Amino acid sequence: MSILQIQDLKKYYGQGDHVVKALDGISLTVEKGEFVAIVGTSGSGKSTLLHMLGGLDRATEGKVYVDGNDLFDMNDDKLTIFRRRSVGFIFQSYNLIPILNVYENIVLPIELDGARVDKGYVNQVIETLGLKEKVNNLPANLSGGQQQRVAIARALATKPSIVLADEPTGNLDSKTSQEVLILMKQMSQKFNQTIVMITHNEGIAQTADRVIRIEDGQIASRSEAGRR
């Protein structure tokens, strides 16, 4: 079952001679439970692509379907609700709320949506990510790796259709990066969670199910990795 479909996506900035083609005709399908890595140098268009998938920006041309919903067909109000419910975000800079403790940070998106917390599921996520003893700590008392794990838990807590990760290991040293990637892979397997991650870390081929390389707004290569 495909959860994400991108059809001939184009995003141009500027006009006439000065047009910048950030994305120039990208088509891609992601299956449910897949862990896809999008790699490319800065300026290759990978961030623009991720913004499109999260409904943070609108395309010049083309379509994005998440779980059957046409993203560019929704108005801004609907898109906000859609993002809150169906998309989990993981950022390079963690973006945790400093005055809330770990548990409160994790369940925040659920409470923002006015929904009830599925305690069993959330506790399972917390345990798998090794955060059980840290739930009452404030983010400032955690290491970078721990903070990013909290951010992963927060992204998964709402059981979104898709988790989008924007350079999740950008602020971490190589050892911790590897651990975070392994955890993301394990989460995607254990909870059948679809994850699309952008990174310039080339050594991720062993953890992601599929690596897609983007150059100048186009898909340069796809590699099918070890799906299990």
Contact residues: another protein, CB under 8 A: 81, 114, 116, 118, 120, 128, 130, 143, 145-146, 149, 175-176, 179, 182-183, 185-186, 203, 205-207, 225-226
Please report how close the Cβ of residue 163 comes to another protein at its closest, in angstroms: 19
Please report how close the Cβ of residue 42 comes to another protein at its closest, in angstroms: 24
Q: Which residue's CB is nearer to another protein, number 19 or number 182?
A: 182
Q: Which residue's CB is nearer to another protein, number 149 or number 154?
A: 149
* CA distances in angstroms from 226 to 106, 185, 209, 220, 223, listed in the order given: 31, 12, 6, 20, 10
Please report how close the Cβ of residue 94 comes to another protein at its closest, in angstroms: 15
Q: For the chain, how are helix, strand and coil distributed in percent, rounded to 5? A: 40, 30, 35
Q: Which residue's CB is nearer to another protein, number 51 or number 149?
A: 149
Quick one: residue 8, left, alpha or beta (phi over 0 = left, psi -120 to 50 = alpha)? left
Enter the tokens of residue 1: 């079952």
Please report how close the Cβ of residue 11 comes to another protein at its closest, in angstroms: 30
Please report how close the Cβ of residue 187 comes to another protein at its closest, in angstroms: 12
| Residue whose structure tokens are 């700590």 | 137
Contact (Cβ atoms closer than 8 angstroms) between residue 171 and residue 91: no
Contact (Cβ atoms closer than 8 angstroms) between residue 71 and residue 57: no
